[in-house]
Amino acid sequence: MVEILVSEEAGIRYLHFSSDWVQGAMRIARPFALELDYTKEMMASLLLRPEANWPRKALLIGLGAASLTKFLHRHRPNSKLTVVEIELAVVSAARQHFKLPEEDQRLNIVIGDGADYVAGCKKRFDLIMVDGFDDKARTGMLETAPFYANCRALLTEQGLLATNLLSRSRNVMRSVERLTEAFDGRALAFPSCDSGNTVAFAATGDTIDFRLAELRASARTLNKATGLNLLPTVTRLEGWHACMGGRLVL
């Protein structure tokens, strides 16, 4: 069983699993905002699929401090969220210390292994977000080819997967390669965050093709609606090898 630790510093509450390794964070004065850079970058999903009612259904693997769950629950009120978390104690900590909403028609929490869940699930989702690590920063089956293939099978025709990888992991590029193979080349990893995280995206359905100027405009709209500022993410894409033509294509 993972030991759950909670600490606070400079107005921010942190979640840890048996170590100083940060598993999640919440600014106490803004409990529904995204605090960690990589969680903000994972929410760039909303720039890649900017429709107002997207996602209708989302699957989140790994709860942590519930940052992604709370953001979608608050700012996508028409979305139905399923969260899979392997440790019941993490769910209890998120409720007690990080303002995880109670389950309702829009939020379903499943205690179980994320890889097992996607292997046996019959539902389909517009968005799958993967952010699952143990106390030693290991992802287990959540970076494997079968897992990515199972995720793809669960996505709708306009689906998107976003996954958090550790840049310093020696296996990170192999993980991106497995993701790319599972999605027939339709995957890319954004340039690494300063925090040491690499966020990778994979898509199904219509090609995602935006000029960076369009993404910047969408980021301003999202910022106005939710307070989430993704303009730094868009700026980091300028000059990046995958956007040399001033476009992001996925």
pLDDT per residue as tens, the chain (250 positions)? 678 889 999 999 999 887 667 889 999 999 999 999 999 999 999 999 999 899 999 999 999 999 999 999 999 999 999 999 999 999 999 999 999 999 999 999 999 999 999 999 999 999 999 997 654 556 678 889 999 999 999 999 999 999 998 755 567 788 899 999 999 999 999 987 766 788 999 999 999 999 999 999 999 999 999 999 999 999 999 888 888 889 999 9
Distance CA 104, CA 82 (A): 11
For strand 4-9 and strand 12-17, is the pairing parallel, antiparallel, or unpaired? antiparallel
**Residue with token string 């840890």:** 16
pTM of the model as a whole: 0.94
- The domain segmentation of the chain, as residue ranges, is 33-207
Provide Rg for the chain, Cα atoms: 17
Token digits for 217?
């405009």
- Give the integer Cα–Cα distance in Å for 29 and 6: 17
CA 232/CA 26 separation, integer angstroms: 20
Question: Residue 40's closest CA among 181, 230, 242?
Answer: 230
Q: Which CATH superfamily is domain 33-207 in?
A: Vaccinia Virus protein VP39 (3.40.50.150)
Q: Is 119 left (phi over 0), alpha (psi -120 to 50) or beta?
A: alpha
CB neighbour list of residue 127: distance below 8 Å, 6 or more residues apart = 45, 49, 54, 55, 57, 58, 59, 159, 160, 161, 162
